[in-house]
Amino acid sequence: METGIVIDERYQNHDMGALHVESPKRFAAILDMIKTEISFPYLKIKPRAATEDEILWNHSVAHLDTLKNTAGQERVDLDPDTSTSALSYETALLAVGGLFQSLDFMLAGDIKNAFAPVRPPGHHAESGQAMGFCLFNNIALSAEYLLRQKGQKRILIIDWDLHHGNGTQNSFYHRSDVLYFSPHQFPLYPGTGHWRETGTAAGQGYTVNIPLYPGKNDADYLYIFRNILAPIAAQFEPDTILVSAGFDVAASDPLGGMEITAEGFGALTAEVRSLAHNLSQDRLLIALEGGYDLHALRQGAKQVLLQLSGTADKPAVAPSPSPRLEHELKPVFTHLKSFWKL
């Protein structure tokens, strides 16, 4: 088995209300797809709960206590977009722990890669604040797990969510052991992620933001991955690649203006899987972030899994940028050439 999948129905226990787009139905849609449409053999990964000490690698004691105190309460509002239900704290610990378990199996050689459709999502969560539907920063904590507990030296985080992952960026903005790469719609929530944001102190150049106007399609994203991500990743030489996979860049998503198809998600996964094969001994973990059109989420996640498992042909998407994309990327290339060979 090449691929592991984190599966636990308790990921539906976090519920911010019947009208909230980040709903338990998201996990249910993916789980139904796995049960009915995935035929390749995979390792079912049962999550554990992350410990409080592990959460404190990336979050403040005050933030941990705030979320811990929501346990058992029907509803606690944390920001205008983010709230908890009675089991949200427990579910958030399982989200982090699901990624940790995936990495354990990967490093033990039981699998090459994994998909973790966990919730709540995480990339907006700051050290001391829940925001943007996110409670704990699952991906940032996974990078810390690899660096602190597994002896790794360099972690690449690719964030293809519609929105900029402010929490993940800020976790490593001053460091060179984690490279954060984010194409995202801009300007949009949370307002961060300009191409000038490239890190401070020892972290200069290790944050790579690709702010994009709406309307970018499969070919545009693939061009960015091949012409910016690939050469930078090759120079960085990561030990493991982590992906914050937002399916809200799908053409039908209610929150965004991008035009990625299910085939496009497969193409991006194939590209990242190739990078992992060449650079990180196949070690690749893809974790769920956004994505609020349930059909697009289901079909996008299916293509991610087919590419991770190697059971589907690589999608025939040509990396041909639109003239508008080339114009938008000119200052990005110029700025990044101060740090990387492009």
**Active site residue ranges:** 124
Which one-letter amino acid corresponds to residue 52?
A: E
- Whole-angstrom distance, CA of residue 167 vs CA of residue 130: 9
- Whole-angstrom distance, CA of residue 162 vs CA of residue 253: 10
Phi and psi angles of residue 192, each rounded to the nearest 5 degrees, phi first: -100, 175
Residue 314: how many CB atoms within 10 A of its CB?
14
For CA atoms 288, 25, 67, 102, give the dihedral sign: negative
